Structure 1
C-alpha cells in the first residue's frame, strides 16, 4: 500500500479570500516570509496538485512533478507543454489513477489550490497550512473554500476534522502567520 501524506497550502486575507474579485492573487497577499515558507514546503513535496490558475511560478517550478486539474480533457493526459505534468479531469478518472500516472508512489502531496481543488481534498488532508494576512481585506474576492464567507476558513477546517497547532509568525510588520491544521485521529 502506498504511503502518502496530503498537505494543503494557502495564504488568505482577513476575510478568507485567496484572490481578488477578478480571480487574481493580488500583490497585497504576497509576503516574503510566506513565499519562503511556501517554496521550502514545495521543494520537499513529491507531487504538487493545483488548478490551472494556481501554478506557483517559482524557480524550481518546472522541476516538480504535478497534476493540473482541468475540465478540458476526458480523464488523464500528458501535458504536451510540460513533461513533468499530468492533466486530470476529476469527473473522468479517480485521483489515484492520476497520481499513479505521475509515477509518484509515496511521499508528500502538496495541494496548492484553487478553491475547487482545496475542497476536493478536504477530508483527506493530513495537515492544512493556513497562512493569514490579517491586515488585508479583499471585498468580493474569491474565497479559499466553498463554505467561506458563511464560515471562516478555520471553521471549515474544524468541521472537516482538523485542529490548529501552534502558529508561526512569517512577517512581523504585517502580522502574517501560518498555522498547521492537523487531522484529529479518532
Structure 2
C-alpha cells in the first residue's frame, strides 16, 4: 500500500497567472485589488482653480495587488522584479457606458463580456472579442499589442454598463511569502503592474 496522500481538493479561485501554479491549498483565500498605476495621475490646478490631469494617456494602466493565504504558498518564489507575467482577473471589471449604446469600446483585451440593460437584464454581445485567454510566459511586442487593443463589442440592444474579465500583460513588482510551519499556514502577496 502506498503511503502517498493525494490532494483531491478542487481549485477555488478563477484568478489566472501565466507560468505560476496555484496548487489546491494555496488559493482558498485570495484577494485581488486593482488600481491605476501612480503615473496615471498628474493632477494640477489651473489659474482658475480647475483640476486637470496632465498625465499622458499611455500612463492609463493598472496595478494589481494579489494577496492570499492557505496551507501552502503558490510557486512565486522564483520570480524577480521585472519578470513578465500575464493575468486574468478573477472578478469582472465593470464599466459604465456614459451614453447607452449597442457598440462599446473596452479599455483592454477581455473575456466573458456581458452588458447590462437599463432594466437590469444581462445582455450578451453579438460576438465575444478575440479570445486572448491562452496566457503566455514570454513577452513579445505582438502579444503586448494584442492585449492593449481596445476591442469594440456589439450588443443587440443598448447597454448602460459592461462587465468583463481583463487580460493584462504585466511585470512583477514585488512578492512576499510568510509561512508558519507549526500552524501549516502561509500568507503571500504578489504585486504586478501593466507593462
TM-score (norm 2): 0.25
| Greater fraction of residues in helix | 1
TM-score (norm 1): 0.26
Higher RCO, 1 or 2 (CA under 8 Å, sep at least 6)? 1
| Greater fraction of residues in strand | 2
